[in-house]
Amino acid sequence: MIFGAAVVINRNPVASALSLVMSFLGLAALFMSLNACFIGIIQVLVYAGAVMVLFLFIVMLLDVRAEKGRQINWLTSTAGLAVALILLGEILSVVGHFEIAHKAFPPLPGSTVDDVRNIGVVLFRNYNLPFQIVGVLVLVATIGVVLLSKREPR
């Protein structure tokens, strides 16, 4: 389960991106084990497919070298690691004191085979306005990306 722990440690950007793909696939497996097949499939398609291809393409386009020969500022590194460890300890203690966190999952009487249909019903019945707002957001993001990556004519 915790094989995503070795993701960020890689110094080479390409190796880091590939281990991120593995981490996303593991997360998709976790979603599947939680009876959320639709979310798992979306995770594989969007993250492991589209987003990681985008990352690898940018790494290839920019020809990024591994961070080597760069002196590490030990003070800031230790401070950042300490803040992350404090955050981790805080999350673990909160989960440890959480009473319902020690209960097992209740059994699922209904079938989750028609997962997509149920999610679609909830999405279009209760969350129709946010769905359309997200559509506008994606359109704006597309136009913005095209404008940003266009070279301005001189």
Partner 1 sequence: MITLGDYLIVSGILFAIGFAGVMLRRNLIIILMSLELMLNAANLSLVAFSRFRVDSTGLPNYNAQVFVFFIITVAAAEVAVGLAILVALYRARQTTDVKDISSLKF
Residues with Cβ < 8 Å from 101, sequence gap 6 or more? 95
| Beta carbon nearer to partner 1, 43 or 153 | 43
Answer whether 36's CB lies under 8 Å from 115's CB: yes
| Beta carbon nearer to partner 1, 105 or 153 | 105
Does the protein bind partner 1 through residue 27 (CB under 8 A)? yes
> Number of residues in contact with partner 1, rule: CB under 8 A?
78
Considering only CA atoms, which of 98, 79, 76, 99 is closest in space to residue 87? 79
Q: How far, in Å, CA of 150 to CA of 61, rounded?
A: 15
Does the protein bind partner 1 through residue 62 (CB under 8 A)? yes
Does the protein bind partner 1 through residue 98 (CB under 8 A)? yes
Least Cβ distance, residue 64 to partner 1 (angstroms): 6
Compose the 40-59 pattern: x for residues touching partner 1 by CB under 8 A, - for all others.
--xx--xx--xx--xx--xx
| Beta carbon nearer to partner 1, 87 or 153 | 87
Q: Is 35 left (phi over 0), alpha (psi -120 to 50) or beta?
A: left
Does the protein bind partner 1 through residue 23 (CB under 8 A)? yes
Q: Using DSSP, state whether 24 is helix, strand or coil.
A: helix
Please report, as residue ranges, which positions from 135 to 154 form the binding site for partner 1 (by CB under 8 A).
137-138, 141-142, 144-145, 148-149, 151
* Local structure of residue 3 (DSSP, 8 states): G
